[in-house]
Amino acid sequence: MSDAPAKVFPKRIFSGIQPSGGLTLGNYLGALKRFAVAQDEGIETVYCLVDLHAITVWQDPGKLRHATRELAAGFIASGVDPARSILFNQSQVPAHAELAWIFNCVARMGWLRRMTQFKDKAGKHAEEASVGLFAYPNLMAADIMAYHATHVPVGEDQKQHLELTRDIAIKFNHDYGVDFFPVVEPVIEGAATRVMSLRDGTKKMSKSDPSDQSRINLTDDADAIAQKFRKARTDSEPLPETVDGLDGRAEARNLVNIYAALADVTPAQVLAQFGGQGFGTFKPALADLAVAKLTPISAEMKRLMQDVAEIDRVLGVGAERAHAIAEPVLDQTREIVGLIRSRGR
Ligand code: AMP
Ligand code: TRP
């Protein structure tokens, strides 16, 4: 293997979002909006609603079904076209869980113990956390590797999991003397890779924050969006003229980044327009922009949710297409590992 030239894998994009609770502005700017843009780059795009990841903490079954469909509606309303992308829920394609088991046997305990998301989620109760929550990153690596995906657009918080995915691919290839799994590239780009809480500029905006004021939900109406931005925590200085002037002003930086990402401009361009002005001017402008961009999405989500049978049908078609890619990868993986497959032959 060492003398052979490294294999070149064709570019393929994969990403996933958990159907656990509603979608936030952070999910939209950090993930969904960019998923839709990636479809125009002439590369195959595979997007997954990771329901098996969601159940690493207990979910009410009815709510999980609802959240999965609503997430599918959120993808489609944000511009992900199920004809151009493969859109499906994870549990319909068994390759994910099966490859995750093989990766459970490749990844090392010490690697997983370092994962900050597990430490954050399990907190002081790590002994009571599910084994699934601990092994979560191995399933994420399997999601990506089952498609031989090379590029993974995510928010900043997923960077460590992608580094683990690279380590798993490298160790698998090394242990079995193959050049089979690609080493993925994280794609963490844009002004809003880390949208922060509206109440605390040092914390990420999250659907699990107990305060609803801390986040914009994709299902919020225009009044709620405007009210939340009006009440967003800031300092009392006017906006600076340059991006350097945002240093040490986490809340101001966050609002400028959100504006930039929504308007498809750079933070410097936002400051060229609003520098020197106070939040009394900037917040209403931001609220108007957010309402203009987000309310059509929430309206479309509502419309799509009126026909859940159609959503389920779309996910089923996506799962067939996903399975057609993942199953041959699994077949080769079994062969490499030495697992006999004689059923039906
Ligand atoms: P999750 O909701 O944790 O399943 O995350 C789904 C996707 O949204 C991932 O790509 C995250 O990195 C991204 N994401 C979640 N919260 C934020 C945030 N506050 N800012 C930017 N991206 C985010
Ligand atoms: N762990 C990711 C999150 O919490 C979701 C996810 C699961 C994912 N599998 C993935 C993201 C594969 C990218 C690729 O946000």
Q: What is the pLDDT of residues 318-331, one digit of tens each?
A: 999 999 999 999 99
| Statement: residue 310 has pLDDT above 70 | yes
What spacing in Å lies between the alpha carbon of 199 and ligand 2's midpoint?
25
Any ligand 1 atom below 6 A from CB of 13: no
Measured CA to CA, the distance from residue 322 to residue 152 in angstroms comes to: 16
5 is in an annotated binding site: no
Residues 39-79 pLDDT 10s: 989 899 999 999 999 999 999 999 999 999 999 999 999 99
Give Dmax (Cα) for the chain. 73
Measured CA to CA, the distance from residue 278 to residue 281 in angstroms comes to: 6
Residues 241-261 pLDDT 10s: 999 999 999 999 999 999 999
Measured CA to CA, the distance from residue 144 to residue 141 in angstroms comes to: 5
| Statement: residue 198 has pLDDT above 90 | yes
Buried residues in 278-292 as b, exposed as e (16+ CB within 10 A)? ebeebbebbbebbbe
| Statement: residue 208 has pLDDT above 90 | no
Strand-strand pairing, 185-187 and 44-49: unpaired
Ligand with the closest atom to the CA of 12: 2
What spacing in Å lies between the alpha carbon of 229 and ligand 2's midpoint?
28
> For the chain, how far is it from start to end, CA to CA, in angstroms?
31
18 is in an annotated binding site: yes
Contacts by 101-110, CB closer than 8 A, 24 or more apart? 102/142, 102/333, 102/337, 103/138, 103/139, 103/141, 103/142, 103/145, 103/168, 103/172, 104/135, 104/138, 106/168, 106/171, 106/172, 106/175, 107/137, 107/138, 107/141, 107/164, 107/167, 107/168, 107/171
Ligand with the closest atom to the CA of 194: 1
Cβ atoms of 149 and 11 closer than 8 Å? no
pLDDT of res. 172:
98
pLDDT of res. 28:
95
* Tokens matching residue 300: 């479309």
Residues with beta carbon inside 6 Å of ligand 2?
14-18, 50, 53, 140, 143-144, 152, 154, 158, 161
What spacing in Å lies between the alpha carbon of 166 and ligand 1's midpoint?
20
Which residues are catalytic, by number?
121, 204, 207
DSSP three-state, residue 240 = coil
Best substitution site from 29, 161, 187, 205 to test ligand 2's pocket, by max atoms within 8 Å of Cβ?
A: 161
Residues facing residue 186 across a β-bridge:
152
Residues 6+ apart with CB under 8 A from 256: 239, 246, 267, 270, 271, 274
Strand-strand pairing, 44-49 and 151-153: unpaired
19 is in an annotated binding site: yes
pLDDT band at 32 (very low <50, low <70, confident <90, very high): very high
The mean pLDDT of 6-17, rounded to a whole number, is 91
204 is in an annotated binding site: yes
What spacing in Å lies between the alpha carbon of 140 and ligand 2's midpoint?
6
Ligand with the closest atom to the CA of 30: 1
